[in-house]
Amino acid sequence: MDINASMTDWSLGAAYVDGQVSPIKDAKIPMTDWGYRRSDVTYDVVGVYYGAFFRLDDHIRRFRASMDKLRLSPEESNEDIVRILTGLVQRTGLREAYVAMDCLRGKPLPGLPYHPAYGRAYLACFAIPWVWLFTEEQQARGVHALIAKTPRIPDASVDPTVKNFHWGDLTRASFEAHDAGFDTAVLLDHEGFLTEGPGFNVFAVIDGTVVSPPRGALEGITRLSVKELCAELGIPHDIRPVSRDDLEQADEVFFSTTAGGIMPVSRLGSRILGNDRPGPLSARLRETFWAKRREGWHATPITYGTAA
């Protein structure tokens, strides 16, 4: 038995990079690889809460679809990825964890054409303590959001259904919101229709119907959960274009994300929604979401005490 390995502190997180497992603080990727130099990478994030993955199969499916669209083919199978992620969480012992899976393209080896077709794809995964996109205070009072002046990158240029590191527009919009005293921003496309926000899908409640946009946004796994909850609770749900006017005049607005679930909005620009508190329908969806999570909805339990 390796005494040093047995004494390693994994509590801050564990990583897997191209076949090697290490504490998160020791994980490294080559600086010359195109995953870093060119953002030639896709990723996904699955949450662990109550000691179980949430919708793990759905996240793996989306991750594989993203890799296929970017022509990234790592050696690991889907079953391997599940084993790797599970092993990382087991090492940390975390019952509430933020678990990421990245697939990066390396730089072509010397002698090969300087073209992405010749860069080997590999995985970099990690598990760290759970990350909330918004604080407990922000969730309790409702998120304060700004409709950004920055438009979303056109989906003809960067496919938003492929989870990616092209965050230039999202970061710029985040600073717009920060400078104006808001928690976050939502972005419209070049035609003025709703897309998404930095790390979350956006919903508007219009005349009792929960509405989200058909294009320009990631096909969120928590967004899928919202659709299922609406069907279960008898709440009308529709996917259709949402204009700026639709959004600004909506009865309620809320977000969905892996790093927080369902997040009601209480302020949108200068407009105060729901008496400056989460709206009733948004709050009901949020409460039901977490209640079902506690009951094991779409859960893949983790066996602790071992590390794969």
Regarding whether 151 and 278 lie in a shared domain, the answer is yes
CA 33 from chain centre, in angstroms, equals: 24
Q: Is the same domain home to 279 and 195?
A: yes
Task: Let me know if residue 287 belongs to a domain.
Answer: yes
In the listed set 104, 131, 158, which residue is the last one of a domain according to the structure?
Answer: 131
Q: Are residues 28 and 48 in the same domain?
A: yes
**N-term to C-term CA, the chain:** 16
pLDDT category of residue 305 using cuts at 50, 70 and 90 = confident
Q: Are 210 and 235 in contact (CB under 8 A)?
A: yes
- b/e per residue, 66-98, with b = 16+ CB within 10 A? bbeebebebebeeeebbebbbbbbbbbebeebb
Same domain, 15 and 108: yes
**Which of residues 111, 131, 151 is at a domain's end?**
131
Say yes or no: 105 and 142 in one domain. Answer: no
Judge if 251 and 164 occupy the same domain.
yes
Q: Are residues 228 and 164 in the same domain?
A: yes
- Domain check: are 159 and 250 in the same one? yes
Asked whether the whole model's pTM tops 0.85, one would answer: yes
Does 277 fall in a domain? yes
Q: Are residues 205 and 274 in the same domain?
A: yes
Range of the domain at 271: 136-294
Q: What is the mean pLDDT of residues 234-245?
A: 98
Is residue 31 located within the same domain as residue 141?
no
pLDDT digits (tens, 9 = 90+) for 18-65: 999 999 999 999 999 999 999 999 999 999 999 999 999 999 999 999
Residues 117 and 154 in one domain: no
Q: Are residues 38 and 85 in the same domain?
A: yes
pLDDT tens-digit readout, 52-100: 999 999 999 999 999 999 999 999 999 999 999 999 999 999 999 999 9
Residue 40 lies in a domain: yes
Give how many domains the chain has, as a whole number: 2
Judged against a pLDDT cut of 70, whether residue 5 lies above it is answered with no
The verdict on residue 175 lying in a domain is yes
Asked if residue 182 belongs to a domain, the reply is yes
Give the pair of three-digit tokens for residue 140: 């309790």
- CATH number of residue 162's parent domain: 3.20.10.10
Reported as a pLDDT band with limits 50, 70 and 90, residue 308 is low
**99, 115, 131: which is the final residue of a domain?**
131
**Would you say residue 299 lies in a domain?**
no
The answer to which of 4-8, 142-146, 229-233, 255-259 has the lowest mean pLDDT is 4-8
pLDDT band at 256 (very low <50, low <70, confident <90, very high): very high
Q: Is the pLDDT of residue 6 over 70?
A: no
CATH number of the domain enclosing 74: 3.30.470.10
**Per-residue pLDDT averaged across 104-124, rounded?**
97
**Residue 305 falls within a domain, yes or no?**
no
Render pLDDT for 183-202 as a digit per residue (tens, 0 to 9).
999 999 999 999 999 999 99
Burial 162-182 (b: 16+ CB within 10 A, else e): bbbeeeebbebbbebbeeeeb
Residue 112: pLDDT band by 50, 70, 90 thresholds? Answer: very high
Q: Tell me the average pLDDT across 119-147.
A: 97
Q: Are 273 and 247 in contact (CB under 8 A)?
A: no
Q: Does some domain include residue 98?
A: yes
Computed over every residue of the chain, the mean pLDDT equals: 96
